[in-house]
Structure 1
Amino acid sequence: MDEIGYNHRHDHNFCIDRPNGMNSWLMLIVKTPAHFRVDGKEIRTSAHSFIIYTPYTPQYYYPATNEYFDDWMHFFPDEKEQKLMEELDIPFNRPVNIADITDMSAMVRSMCFEHYSSNPFRQQSIDLYFQLLILKLSEKLRKKEEQHERPEGLYFEKLLWIRQSIYRWPSRNYSIDDMAKELSLSRSRFQHLYTETFGVSVNKDVISSRLNKAAELLKTTDLSVKEVGIRVGYDNTSYFVKLFGSIYGLTPLQFKQAEGK
């Protein structure tokens, strides 16, 4: 692993243009919609996508909305790691949507921690995380193919849009009945199909999206805990503090202080 970054934010002016690529491999886990140029063609990818650039491949991408978030790593895979990616048929040099990058992003966060730590086994830990990351990536690609092959796959694009909306606009008041109605499904059928498709319930996704946004606001703004809670849809500050603590292990104020804001 050469360099790695977790949850980096850029504004709408961000643009990467490397006509000759780089001497290293590059993996991006893209959290917001973005534009990529591949073989001279513009491709707009949705949130929850990834791309792996091989060395010396042209790189050109920029935000499709007002801001851009991603995880990234420059790396030099050894022969064993390259063979693993080939055996799992991991696609290179084109963006691919995988519906859910949450667990993959968590792995990158752990890799980032190890990379910048002084742990004696940090390199071995990073190598294991990387192999796990590739395995999980392959699982998601296969699951995506299976979903399109099943009759339920007819709902996949609409479900994906609902999920992307949840993460894009976390403060909205999401009604399960309204979402089910949008797909012409019963409430129970919608919830079952959503969980089956993404491996997590719609309610948990709403909570995750809100707390992820809350963590971002706590790290990057001077908003008070109460203001952050309201921004992400929680008018009850006590409930917000309790919920945040159950996920992050810290109160919002402790988290804010730990991040130096």
Structure 2
Amino acid sequence: MLISVGLLGLVIGGLTGLLGAGGGILAVPALVYLVGIPLGTAISTSLVMGAVGPVAALLPRLRAGIQWQTVLAVSAAGIPAAFVGTLAGASLPENVVLLAFAVLMIAAGIQMLRSRPRGKDTVICPKLWLVRGLAVGVLVGFLTGLLGIGGGFITVPALMLILGLPIGLAIGSSLVIAVINSLAGIIAHAGTTSPDWAVAVAFVVPAMAAALVSAQLSKQVSGQVLQRSFAILVLVVAAITIIRVILTATTS
């Protein structure tokens, strides 16, 4: 089992380093359906992965790949929202939440495909950026607490479409936000569910190695290719989520 978890870590770590996302939204269903651990344990374990896994991908981006003022604004709203999302997760039907999440991803993916990609470092500061940043933080933090994900699949498109960040800065900033939100999610879930530490370690070690390598490779990829690749990945994950919800509904 741990070998399968390690291979999963390589794949997700590579996606995290390259695109700034791919962790929780893929890890939670994989842990439940492939590894066979309960959903609550999978969410807690995924949060540990989300707090540690992106660190390696951050290292090559620390100097010029992160917009710290955006990170602070988003995180300030995201931390309390993660606690609210955790409480909501105890009362809302899982399929309803997943469908809403999938619809949100489809809208973001389509908009990213339609938007003209900018250079990796071309920043367009929108009006009311602080208000927009706080709104993004509420959305991403809530999803972190609700679904046990770092939020990269929503954070990256939101930072680009709502706050005007180019793909390069959106990816780097999203990684920092994912770590902060995951830590808040771990605290919010404390006392309700516990991580599977053996699975978490087996995942994190190869994930960090893969993320470090892919983060270096991402510097050689154009902003246009990164944006379109991310948009396609978002749409694929949304489709898989919808199929999963339908199959679950028909078999229950």
TM-score if structure 2 supplies the norm length?
A: 0.27
**Whose strand proportion is higher, 1 or 2?**
1
Larger radius of gyration: 1
By relative contact order (CA 8 Å, sep 6+), the higher-ranking structure is 2
Give 1 or 2: higher helix fraction: 2
The TM-score, its normalising length taken from structure 1, stands at 0.27
